[in-house]
Amino acid sequence: METWDTRSLNVEPRHPQVLHSDDEGRTILIDLPAGEELQEHQVHERAWIIVVDGELEIEDSGGSTFRAGPGGLALTAPKERHEVRATKDSRLVLILAPWPGPGHPSERS
């Protein structure tokens, strides 16, 4: 078993820290200062976005917005376009699975 206290880890803002990575998934911890965003993008994997601290707005390509505080969870499908904005200083856990997803540039043969 591996464990982390995601609230106490030292993570520099805008410098994601990979907590774990294997063929089944990748877990990343991100600090996002208020007003910063992960501009509209897509990933090849299914993405779970979990708010640890702060407040995020997560918007899908259709314009639907989910405002989430600590404990908030959003799930995006592979290749689903979305945007993540911090309305307060925020910390989030991002889980991508499987890792890497089909079509990802680092996909193993």
For 39-97, the DSSP string reads EEE--SSEEEEEEEES-EEEEETTS-EEEE-TT-EEEE-TT--EEEEESSSEEEEEEEE
Domains parsed from the chain with CATH numbers: 21-97 (2.60.120.10)
Partners of 90 in the β-ladder: 32
Q: What is the mean pLDDT of each run of 10 residues along the chain (109 residues)?
A: 95 93 95 91 91 96 94 95 96 93 68
Q: Which residues contact 68 (CB under 8 A, 6 or more apart)?
A: 49, 51, 55, 56, 57, 58, 74
Burial (CB < 10 A; 0-12, 13-18, 19+), residue 49, is buried
pLDDT at 107: 57
pLDDT score at 2:
93
pLDDT in the model for residue 100: 77
pLDDT at 61: 85
Bridge-based pairing state of the strands 37-41 and 73-76: unpaired
Residue with tokens 């309305």: 87
